[in-house]
Amino acid sequence: MHSVKSDFPILQNRNIVYLDNAATTQKPRSVIDAIKEFYEYHNANIHRGLYPLAREATEMYEKAHETVAEFIGGRAEETVFVKNASEGLNLAAWILKNRLGRGDNVVVTVSEHHSNFLPWFKVAKMQGAAVKVAGTRADGSIDEEQVVEMIDRKTKIVAVQHASNVTGYITDLEEIVKAAHDSGAVVVADGAQSVPHVPVNVKKTGIDAIAFSAHKMLGPTGIGALWMKGELLEEGEPLLEGGDMIKEVHYDGELRVVYNEIPWKYEAGTPNIAGGVGFAAAVEYLKSYGVENVLPHEQKLARTLMDGLEELGITWVGPKTVEKRGGVVTFTVRGMSSHAVALYLGTKNICVRAGYHCAQPLHESLGLKDTVRASVYIYNDKNDVDRLLAALEEIL
């Protein structure tokens, strides 16, 4: 039987238990090779040169947009490459800001990553609008009913995570999308923790925008995507100005600018071309694995981990069953700071995250100072979970 771990050089070269996948994932050989091959055989700038090498690079970068877009059921022209999901969500807020006016509101949740929380406060303040913050259930999972209840005729934007990087909870978007659209609002989803783990089809969910990062789904750092409905991209203004995102610039005492077609309108300057190629290679790897197989694998490991934590008397955050959660398990060890726990685990070559996980409002709403987060992915196995539990038992 093929071992998924054997596809990942770092897992062969280092004796580590890597359980920090919600922060970033390791890279398979195919992704590393795709980036290496681009630099060795195809490197040139895009959308500029007429020589064969430049055309090759352009074709590869544009093909990467198609590959990534198809992975989520979208179209290439609606898929803007960005640095990461954080930049994608900030860009979404910028594009949609003119939908807000004085007296309007944006609905978010206290469970959001800071990247899907702070930008909406910023643009709301710019436009004289308000931000309404929905709470969570007792276990920290998003309360979809409360989100729906907060949506009114003054709501123009609803920004919500598709999956939590703290509780692992997978949000049911259906009723939120319906309520938002019935009120004339658009829905922006943070897909950083969902697109790598569950099948996402933007047309079926009905969302208006979603942002996600390549590095959380086996791809390189410094590249991600914002998918947004074409009509919204067309009506929005670019955040950055520069090369390749314009068709014409005229100045005769008055400035006249004609922007490029979407998505290039939002990709100013020379982009991360090799990163785009690596992004596409990561998508191809996930397709070969079967993205529909990711969540069941993670849930099995999460169940084993949660059962083990319970036996040790360690409390975890989020739903007690795995049906509505992914492979993120966040916990606290009584009498120890999360950083002390993570540092000890590090001495055992076990990689976990400690702190607020860029979700401080959620932690504070749950009365938590900080937490330890273990997050699994396709290359993790029961042995990884067992090593974590054994190390935790040592410090109790």
H helices present in the chain, as ranges: 9-13, 29-37, 52-71, 85-96, 118-127, 144-150, 174-182, 202-205, 230-235, 273-289, 294-312, 338-347, 360-365, 382-395
Indicate the SS3 state at residue 143.
Answer: coil
Is the Cβ–Cβ distance between 93 and 106 less than 8 Å?
Answer: no
**Distance, CA of 232 to CA of 247 (rounded, Å):** 20
Find the Cα–Cα–Cα–Cα dihedral 141, 287, 261, 120, rounded to 10°. 10
Which residues have C-beta within 8 Å of that of residue 13, sequence separation ≥ 6? none
Calculate the dihedral angle through the C-alpha atoms of 80, 83, 88, 94, rounding to the nearest 10 degrees: -90
Phi/psi for 366 (5° steps) reads -95, 0
Q: How far is 180 from 107, CA to CA, in rounded Å? A: 10
Return the structure tokens found at 279: 């992004």
358, 360, 361, 381: the active-site residue: 358
The DSSP code for 261 is: P
What is the residue type of 194? S
Going by the DSSP 8-state scheme, the letter that residue 333 receives in this structure is: -
Backbone angles phi, psi at 242, to 5 degrees: 160, -155
Q: Is the dihedral of CA 263, 265, 267, 273 positive or negative?
A: positive
Q: The dihedral of CA 147, 153, 155, 161: what is its sign?
A: positive
Active site residue 351: no
β-pairing, 186-190 vs 353-355, is unpaired
Name, in order, each residue with C-beta under 8 angstroms of 238's C-beta and a sequence gap of 6 or more: 245, 259, 265, 266, 268
Point out the residues that are catalytic: 358
